């Protein structure tokens, strides 16, 4: 059987020229690292990193009933949005399982942008079409739009070379700015969004795919003096894990619900109907059967997805969903699901992770695992 053709982002040639190690991810050939994951990770924590995240999906929702459509599709409350405001949310099945986690941007009362995970673009678009009884206009623009993430404490300093009035307060966290044509590196269309997946302050920059290389080159050139380094998916994963952020396919999927994943803050029952509301209400009333927890290993070792989590008697009680060596702590850290009981979920509780035939001691730690810079 022929192998599925992997897509390439508009920056593929830039990654190859920088000597990136490439891997398949979400149907794309993506850079996993340029120098080393630890080097790139620490650059983001201490200065800045530049990521190509053009594999993410961009779906526009337009029309007089666009708000109504978005509101029933997501668990969070879209009525809290105003022009230039974004929010994080999930879409659920009627049974409460997570279809995807996503960002929702409001451009105006009849224009919303939904940013979804790369591996889920087709699935999500089909889900939206299936549940579009409002006749909203849906456009999958994923192939035309590139996305770069400039992240780290020096991110805004670097971006100010191109937009002098940018700051962490302008736009504020989870706010964005649509640039006038030509005012950001000559781009015909660009959106600067104060969001990110690293736990550090920074911008996510949307532009047309054919203008992405110019933006990438300009940011790297100016950023060099501020410690900016290109960063791959490896560092993106260790950064989001230190921050305690969920990854779809690991902590989230259609067999998990947002309440057990620690995302009850994005589920607004008081907003009225949304897909999955009744199932999630039942789960809330009964209490989730399991809980996503953070773990810090007390001995040398690297926890990996699928490794068993054990209790004090060394009985398996759950499993790791994501794990790594924290480049900042130099300790193994993990996320994983365990039964929703205080003995397993309270910070400081002793548990263990089975790595091959050895059980390494660990304790429950509420994420984030490291101190993050103020956004």
Please name the residue that has the structure tokens 């690293």.
Answer: 198
* Cβ atoms < 10 Å from Cβ of 17: 9
Alpha carbon distance 120, 125 (integer Å) = 8
Does 204 appear as a known binding residue?
yes
Rounded to 10 degrees, the C-alpha dihedral 57/51/19/329 comes to -120
Residues flagged as binding site for substrate = 204
Residues flagged as binding site = 204
């Amino acid at each position: 059987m022929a192998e599925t053709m992997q897509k390439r982002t508009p920056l593929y040639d830039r990654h190859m020229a920088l000597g990136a190690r490439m891997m398949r991810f979400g149907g794309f050939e993506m850079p996993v690292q340029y120098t080393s994951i630890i080097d790139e990770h620490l650059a983001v924590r201490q200065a800045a990193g530049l990521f190509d995240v053009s594999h993410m999906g961009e779906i526009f929702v337009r029309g007089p009933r666009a708000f109504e459509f978005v509101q029933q599709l997501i668990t969070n409350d879209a009525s809290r949005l105003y022009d230039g405001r974004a929010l994080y949310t999930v879409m659920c099945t009627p049974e409460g399982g997570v279809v995807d986690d996503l960002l929702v941007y409001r451009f105006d009362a009849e224009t919303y942008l939904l940013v979804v995970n790369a591996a889920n673009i087709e699935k999500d678009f089909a889900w939206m079409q299936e549940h579009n009884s409002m006749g909203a206009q849906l456009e999958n623009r994923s192939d035309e739009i590139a996305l770069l993430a400039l992240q780290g404490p020096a991110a805004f300093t670097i971006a100010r070379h191109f937009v002098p009035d940018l700051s962490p307060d302008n736009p504020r966290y989870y706010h964005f700015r649509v640039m006038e044509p030509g005012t950001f590196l000559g781009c015909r269309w660009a959106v600067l969004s104060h969001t990110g997946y690293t736990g550090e302050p920074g911008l996510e920059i949307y532009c047309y795919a054919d203008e992405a290389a110019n933006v990438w080159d300009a940011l790297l050139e100016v950023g060099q003096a501020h410690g900016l380094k290109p960063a791959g998916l490896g560092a993106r994963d260790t950064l989001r894990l230190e921050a305690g952020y969920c990854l779809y396919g690991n902590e989230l999927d259609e067999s998990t619900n947002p309440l057990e994943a620690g995302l009850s803050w994005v589920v607004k029952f008081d907003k009225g109907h949304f897909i999955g509301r009744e199932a999630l209400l039942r789960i809330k009333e009964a209490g989730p059967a399991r809980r996503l927890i953070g773990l810090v290993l007390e001995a040398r070792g690297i926890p990996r997805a699928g490794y068993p989590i054990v209790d004090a008697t060394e009985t398996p009680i759950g499993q790791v969903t994501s794990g790594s060596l924290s480049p900042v702590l130099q300790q193994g850290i993990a996320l994983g699901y365990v039964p929703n009981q205080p003995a397993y979920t309270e910070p400081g509780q002793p548990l263990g992770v089975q790595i091959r035939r050895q059980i390494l001691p660990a304790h429950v730690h509420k994420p984030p695992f490291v101190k993050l810079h103020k956004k």
